[in-house]
């Protein structure tokens, strides 16, 4: 159940990277339920098709675009295909990312590069390839970052650097593209339950960890992140650009303190 009125995105098309699972799929579901046509990009065709079939069964238009966000040509072609199929692109959501826990001292240069390549360069690739489509529709971008972008976190230097880069890119693109009518914002989730991210970053978390790590005392839900993104692409956010909206139950207010035990002795 969404708190927004029905049909908020009727007639609009959203292109969602990482739309085949987790938060990206949740955003696709929320957007489709609000009347949007959705185009899903990710590397695994089966994951994209499963989400698309579910959306079609519920009456939405959905297309699948298997590609790696690190390949500019493939992302550009996917956006052109999606625009052709759906008649344009109004919204770009960047949710594709890779992450794992690794101490900086033993992380390989290639491991660092892989995450920056997917998250930051992948987001630039999609924004750059979407530019012509979004100026044609006076559309908008929302990129999913993480609170690691601003809060130093142990074992997260690669993801933190990549997400901080995306938040800076968000402000730069907002500045350059504002006059063309294109808004660019980001959403920084904290811990969101039932996701691949949490499986990788918080294996074995318990209730007592939660109480210590999140002022609101619980993990967030995928639909809560989807609602934050829906707000930013809606007319209610027509005067918002260059912003990062944190959705973390207040976890970032505590800084990295509660996570320092991850570093061990």
Under the rule (CB under 6 A), what is the footprint of ligand NAP?
Answer: 17-18, 20-24, 42-44, 47, 68-70, 95-99, 118, 122, 144, 146, 189, 191-192, 195-198
* Residue closest to 143 by CA, chosen among 159, 160, 127, 161: 127
Per partner kind, with CB cut-offs from 5 to 8 A, the member of ligand NAP, ligand COA, none near residue 111 is ligand COA
Q: Is the dihedral of CA 177, 128, 33, 1 positive or negative?
A: negative
Q: Compute the least distance from the CB of residue 214 to ligand COA, in Å.
A: 17
Q: Please, which residue, 117 or 137, has the CB nearer to ligand NAP? A: 117
Q: Rounded to an integer, what distance in angstroms lies between the CA atom of residue 161 and that of residue 229?
A: 22
Within 94-113, the residues that bind ligand COA by CB under 6 A are 97-100, 102, 107-108, 110-111
Q: Which residue has the tokens 């995450």?
A: 115
Per partner kind, with CB cut-offs from 5 to 8 A, the member of ligand NAP, ligand COA, none near residue 110 is ligand COA
Report CA-CA distances (Å) from 165 to 74, 81, 125, 176, 208. 22, 28, 13, 16, 33
Contact pattern for ligand COA over residues 197 through 216, marking x by CB under 6 A: x--x----------------
Q: Compute the least distance from the CB of residue 11 to ligand NAP, in Å.
A: 26
Contact pattern for ligand COA over residues 36 through 75, marking x by CB under 6 A: ----------------------------------------
Per partner kind, with CB cut-offs from 5 to 8 A, the member of ligand COA, ligand NAP, none near residue 161 is none
Q: Rounded to an integer, what distance in angstroms lies between the CA atom of residue 245 and that of residue 11?
A: 26
Cβ–Cβ under 8 Å, residues 139 and 92: yes
Q: Please, which residue, 98 or 165, has the CB nearer to ligand NAP? A: 98
Q: Compute the least distance from the CB of residue 241 to ligand NAP, in Å.
A: 20
Cβ–Cβ under 8 Å, residues 198 and 226: no
Q: Does 164 bind ligand COA (CB under 6 A)?
A: no
**Which 3-state string (H, E, C) describes 214-253?**
CCCCCCECHHHHHHHHHHHHCHHHCCCCCCEEEECCCHHH
Q: Please, which residue, 136 or 164, has the CB nearer to ligand NAP? A: 164
Q: Compute the least distance from the CB of residue 42 to ligand COA, in Å.
A: 9
Q: Compute the least distance from the CB of residue 109 to ligand COA, in Å.
A: 7
Q: Please, which residue, 61 or 117, has the CB nearer to ligand NAP? A: 117
Q: Rounded to an integer, what distance in angstroms lies between the CA atom of residue 161 and that of residue 158?
A: 5
Binding site for ligand COA (CB under 6 A): 97-100, 102, 107-108, 110-111, 114-115, 196-197, 200
């Amino acid at each position: 159940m969404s708190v927004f009125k029905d049909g908020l995105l009727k007639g609009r098309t959203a292109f969602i990277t990482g739309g085949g699972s987790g938060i990206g799929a949740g955003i696709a579901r929320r957007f489709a339920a609000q009347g949007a046509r959705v185009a899903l990009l990710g590397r695994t065709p089966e994951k994209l098709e499963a989400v698309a079939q579910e959306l079609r069964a519920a009456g939405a238009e959905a297309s699948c675009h298997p590609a790696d966000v690190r390949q500019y040509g493939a992302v550009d072609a996917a956006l052109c295909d999606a625009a052709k199929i759906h008649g344009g692109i109004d919204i770009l959501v960047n949710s594709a990312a890779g992450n794992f826990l690794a101490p900086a001292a033993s992380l390989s240069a290639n491991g660092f590069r892989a995450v920056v390549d997917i998250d930051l360069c992948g987001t630039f690739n999609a924004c750059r390839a979407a530019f012509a489509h979004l100026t044609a529709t006076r559309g908008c971008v929302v990129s999913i970052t993480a609170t690691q972008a601003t809060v130093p976190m142990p074992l997260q230097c690669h993801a933190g650097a990549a997400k901080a880069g995306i938040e800076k890119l968000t402000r730069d693109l907002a500045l350059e593209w504002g006059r063309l009518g294109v808004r660019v914002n980001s959403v920084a989730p904290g811990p969101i339950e039932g996701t691949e991210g949490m499986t990788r970053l918080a294996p074995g978390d318990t209730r007592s960890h939660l109480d210590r790590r999140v002022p609101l005392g619980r993990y967030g839900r995928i639909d809560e992140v989807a609602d934050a993104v829906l707000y930013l692409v809606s007319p209610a956010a027509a005067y918002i650009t260059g912003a990062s909206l944190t959705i973390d139950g207040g976890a970032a207010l505590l800084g990295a303190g509660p996570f320092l035990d991850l570093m061990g002795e």
